[in-house]
Amino acid sequence: MTDREFSRLHNTAPRFFYGYVIVVLAFVILMVSWGLYAVFGVFFNPLLDEFHWTRAMTSGAFSLSMLLHGVVGILMGALADRFGSRVVVTFCGVLLGSGYLLMSRLSSIWQFYLFYGVLIGIGVSGIWVPLLSCVARWFVRRRSLMTAIVASGVGIGGLIAPPVISRLIAAYGWRLSYVFQGVIILLVVILASQFLKRDPAQKGLLPYGDDEEVPSGLKSGREGYSLKEAAHTIQFWLSCAIFFSYGFLTFSIMVHIVPYAIELDISAIDAANILASIGGLSVLGNFTLGSFGDRIGNKRIFISGFVMMSIIVFWLALAREMWMLYMCMAVFGVALGGMATSESPLMARLFGLRSHGLIYGMVGFGYTIGSAVGPVVTGHIFDLTGSYQLAFQVCAAFGVAGCILATTLRPTKRMAYKL
């Protein structure tokens, strides 16, 4: 029996497959890093109360962080393709933790943009794409399911972090709460990242399910599109536009749902719990929608998610009671979870694994631009009109546009694999 045959046998019926360790590590890292990143809206009003900035100015630091997350994320995806996720996630964990610690010393707007916009933005840029790309390399079969498990870390973190941080702010103030975030990031993310492996070859293994009848570009990573080749396809640019709409809609709501709830005379703690419901229900979306991507195709998950989000955001503009906000954010969270799970597998199905991290990072930049523009536009519309009604209608329009674009997406010629 050859070494390859032995490895294949080991991967089809393994007693212990290290890929599951990768999944657990990626889950923990995403739960902590993105869970804490998602609580920006909880700090929104405390910062406004202390510094008296406008909502557009306050949203702008988050938008800058998202913009840098996308720009630098392209580089981080390329570095992960070459050097592996361990190096990238460790470096970014240091920046992310340091940024939160420095936020506790905040005294002016330029520091806000430097600490949160630049340091935290660059720090978070090397978390999502390198980890999801790593999981894609370890699994052929169950790829969407494993991605769903990992992506659910964001939702669980988003469920736990807002109420915890809200209570910390109430008890100890926002500055000490940022110290807590920084310490947790430095301890958990850096430690967990030391056990990441770029791909199964580093452990003398093949990807789980390597014997499946799927295009080889989805297996070994040696085939598929380079970034230059992908950029010459209409699918690449459609994906960028889809991700832009997805980011605009998602983070406009994530950043402004807490201040919107407070505008309706809902307490800050209850408003934080409403934000947390997005994270909690996104976990349900990871598994009820996202994990079905292997069966029905990831494209259909995106279409369904856009439809659900658009309807809910139209309704959100009319919501006045707390139970209505909870219901809106619950459905929004399910849609968000399904779409988040489908991102990485969709890129693998379109372009293979040859340059998966780099291509995913480039397409994800569209998401980042939308995530950067959306909160600022939403805040600016509120500053002009004194209401979120028009802003939410604009968000819903981007959801409709994303849905239309997603329906036009077709498989690439080289991969010819069901989307």
Most confident of 8-17, 229-238, 360-369: 229-238
Q: Mean pLDDT over all residues of the chain?
A: 84
DSSP string spanning 162-190? HHHHHHHHHHH-HHHHHHHHHHHHHHHHH
pLDDT in tens, 37-54: 988 878 988 898 899 888
Q: What mean pLDDT do residues 278-291 have?
A: 76
CB atoms within 10 A of CB 181: 28
CB atoms < 10 A from the CB of 148, how many? 27
Instruction: State the fold for domain 3-407.
Output: Growth Hormone; Chain: A; (1.20.1250)
| Domain chopping of the chain, boundaries | 3-407
pLDDT tier for residue 356 given thresholds of 50, 70 and 90? confident
2 — alpha (psi -120 to 50), left (phi > 0) or beta? beta
pLDDT band at residue 193, thresholds of 50, 70 and 90?
very high
At 154 the pLDDT is 83
pTM higher than 0.85, yes or no? Answer: no
Report residue 118 as tokens: 């630049």
At what angle are helices 128-138 and 322-351 packed, to 10 degrees? 50
Those residues whose C-beta lies under 8 Å from the C-beta of residue 379, and which sit 6 or more positions away, are 54, 55, 56, 58, 59, 255, 256
Least Cα distance to 115 among 95, 98, 97, 99 occurs for 99
Angle among Cα 349, 74, 220 to the nearest 5 degrees reads 35
Dmax (CA) for the chain in angstroms is 73
